[in-house]
Amino acid sequence: MGPIIIIAILVFFFLIVIISNIKIVPQAKSYVIERLGAYYTTWETGLHVKLPFLDRVAKVVLRKEQVADFPPQPVITKDNVTIQIDTVVFFQITDPKLYTYGVDRPMEAIENLTATTLRNIIGELELDNTLTSRDVINSKIRLILDEATDPWGIKVNRVELKNIIPPREIQDAMEKQMKAERERRESILRAEGEKRSQILVAEGRKESQILEAEAEKQAAILNAEAVKEAKIREAEGEAQAIMQVQTALADSIKLLNEAAPGEGVLTLKSLEAFAKAADGKATKIIIPSEIQGIAGLVSSLGEVIKTDNDKK
């Protein structure tokens, strides 16, 4: 084998070693690098080259938020009811070095820590409070887990109680209680509906009576206004008639004055007025002195005419 072949083999071997030690770290991942068995550095996203035979990738850490769904755990409540609860933990690795060297089997550690924390919290609550206080339980577990996992380079973002499964007999009792509660609510709603219906009917009758009374009142007011209007018009007609009579009388007097009537005409008008006054309808007649004189003259004239006739 010649020296050229040996050099070519060495160059080829060198290139293979160089290429095999070039690492590209993808997005959302981190590489924990050890040199000679000790922690050396953490590679983030990008191109990196490690020293052959000296450096090695100790752990590849996923930096995205992860979900851990733990199986149901038996938990005893304050009123001695054993229930099954399974939890879901949302966490994110914030420090790859602490995550690699902080605890052995981190997921198992988180699961055990979640179970013990859940037992402590549920042990202080009764069954009814446990079923209605999911948000409170979630918040307490998250705070405890987040504080406990800080040394492990883990950030617990959220904890959810996925299922709370009480014993079969408790479920039957709860279903019976729920059924009774629904029947009670149905009875209350039916009674409320009947009560509301009766109230509406009574209010309708009341409003109908009020409307009828209001209509009668309006009709009476309209009738009274009509009668009043008729009387007013009648009085206005009588007043106009009297005014017309008085106007006619004034016009006649004015014409008499303008004509300068003699004593005989005045005497004749006085006799006509006397005749109208004595038409038999009046109970008391007041005769002016002028008419009395004329009446006496007429009476004396009548006696003279009678004496002359007797003489004849």
Residues 242 and 211 reside in one and the same domain = yes
- In this structure, of 37-51, 170-184, 187-201, the range with the lowest mean pLDDT score is 170-184
Of 23, 42, 62, which closes a domain?
62
pLDDT tens digits for range 211-245: 888 888 888 888 888 888 888 888 888 888 788 77
Residue 292 pLDDT greater than 70, yes or no: no
Strand-pair partners of 47: 24
Domain that holds residue 30: 3-62
* Residue 29: per-residue pLDDT: 92
Q: pLDDT for 143-189, tens place per residue? A: 999 999 999 999 999 999 888 888 888 777 777 877 888 888 888 88
What's the CA dihedral at 124, 128, 130, 134 to 10 degrees? -140
Q: Is residue 112 part of a domain?
A: yes
Clarify whether residues 57 and 75 are in a common domain. no
For 168-222, the DSSP string reads: HHHHHHHHHHHHHHHHHHHHHHHHHHHHHHHHHHHHHHHHHHHHHHHHHHHHHHH
The model's confidence at residue 304, banded by pLDDT at 50, 70 and 90, is very low
pLDDT, tens digit, 9 for 90 and up, residues 7-27: 888 888 888 878 888 888 998
Which pLDDT value is given to residue 171? 74
Nearest to 48 by CA among 72, 73, 22: 22
Residue 269 has pLDDT above 70, yes or no: no
26 and 38 fall within a common domain: yes
Residue 300 has pLDDT above 80, yes or no: no
Burial category of 122 from C-beta neighbours within 10 Å (exposed 0-12, middle 13-18, buried 19 and up): buried
Which strands make up the sheet holding 38-43, listed edge to edge?
38-43, 29-35, 55-62
Q: What pLDDT is recorded for position 265? A: 54
* Per-residue model confidence (pLDDT) at position 178: 79
Helix (H) or strand (E) holding 69: strand 66-69
Given this model, what pLDDT does residue 272 score? 60
The pTM score is: 0.54
Greater model confidence, 61 or 267: 61
Same domain for 162 and 200? no
| Same-domain status, 57 and 70 | no
> Cβ distance 155 to 149 under 8 Å?
yes
Shared domain check, 215 and 247:
yes
> Residue 259 has what pLDDT?
63
Tell me how many domains the chain contains. 3
Q: Judge if 145 and 223 occupy the same domain.
A: no
* pLDDT on residue 257: 67
Per the domain annotation, does 144 fall within a domain? yes
Any domain includes 175: no
Rounded to whole angstroms, the Cα distance separating 55 from 19 reads 14
Q: Is a pLDDT exceeding 60 seen at residue 285?
A: no
- CATH classification at residue 125: 3.30.479.30
Is the CB of residue 3 less than 8 Å from the CB of residue 19?
no
